[in-house]
Amino acid sequence: MECAKALRLFDSLKIMCFKRREFSNLLTGYVIPAVFNVWKRQQQCLLNSIKDNPICIASDMRVDSPGHSGLFGSGSSLDVDRNIILDTQVVKSTEVKNSNAMELESLKRQLAYLEQSDVNVKKLVTDRHSQVSSYLAQEKPDIEHAYDVWHVAKEYIQTIQEECLKLRNDFSTLKKAISHSKELPPEEPVTLVEKYLDGKQRKPKSDIVAAKHSRFTQLALPGVDEDHCDCSGKCATRRCKCKNELRKCKSACDCKKEACKNV
């Protein structure tokens, strides 16, 4: 507690004061309930004022210790236009799989509470947490998801620093760097979003499906492979391509002719 040092000082100076347990009882019985009731009344007034209006919120979580060993996490929702906190949810690491999953659980509770209060969340701004991005893409597609500018800029700053180090190694003086830059043709301007998404687009679904195989070693898309089998057994199960397609093995098949039973 914050009062521990003061209580130890009073105790060493023989100054009469309440003990730590009494202080904890005062907090539990009076201070915390009073603060909680005031916050709930103010929160309800805020939610009633923005009810049924599309809003943009920003959400992030604070953890009681750095790294991935936090015990408690406190996630808050901020109304970006009005600059006010709408909700705060506290999550304990034992409630989820690990401490890294506390942020997603906190966000779920925040969105659930806002939905119960008839608050229309149109846009949500978060950091680049992979679990949060996946959850919003799959479970909340109607909410527009955006990354915080600071996290996007952080990646570009690191990239710029790496490129500057390369240029410093290649060109020892500024004069050489300027002369080299004049020889380069000007590039076409691209937007910041295009730069960020460059190389990060997902493959088309047809390409992903074509690369997968079925459980019977048959390609997921028909007509890609040849119509003969190369079994090393008796061609008696559906693992055999010919048996799976309800046809007899032919002379073009690479299976063992003396052991084949699908003839």
pLDDT for 223 equals: 45
For the chain, where do the domains classified as CATH 3.30.420.10 start and end?
51-147
Q: How many alpha carbons fall within 13 Å on the CB side of residue 161? A: 6
- C-alpha 147/C-alpha 105 separation (Å) is 18
Number of C-beta neighbours around residue 258 at 10 A: 6
Distances (CA, A) of 228 to 210, 258, 261, 262: 19, 17, 15, 12
Per-residue model confidence as pLDDT tens digits over 53-100: 899 999 999 888 765 667 899 999 999 998 999 999 999 988 998 888
Long-range contacts of range 34-40, CB-CB < 8 Å, 24 or more positions apart?
Answer: none
**Section 225-239 average pLDDT:** 79
Give yes or no for a contact between 219 and 210, defined as CB atoms under 8 angstroms apart.
yes
* Percentage of the chain exceeding pLDDT 70: 80
- C-alpha 185/C-alpha 174 separation (Å) is 19
- Picking from 147, 124, 116, the residue whose alpha carbon sits closest to that of residue 57 is 124
Give yes or no for a contact between 145 and 122, defined as CB atoms under 8 angstroms apart.
no
Give yes or no for a contact between 107 and 75, defined as CB atoms under 8 angstroms apart.
yes
Per-residue model confidence as pLDDT tens digits over 134-182: 999 999 989 999 988 887 787 778 888 888 888 778 777 777 777 777 6
**Is the domain covering 51-147 a CATH 3.30.420.10 domain?**
yes
Structure-model confidence comparison of residues 220 and 178, the more confident one: 178
* Percentage of the chain exceeding pLDDT 90: 27
pLDDT for 225 equals: 46
- Taking phi first (over 0 means left), then psi (-120 to 50 degrees means alpha), and beta for anything else, what does residue 217 get? left
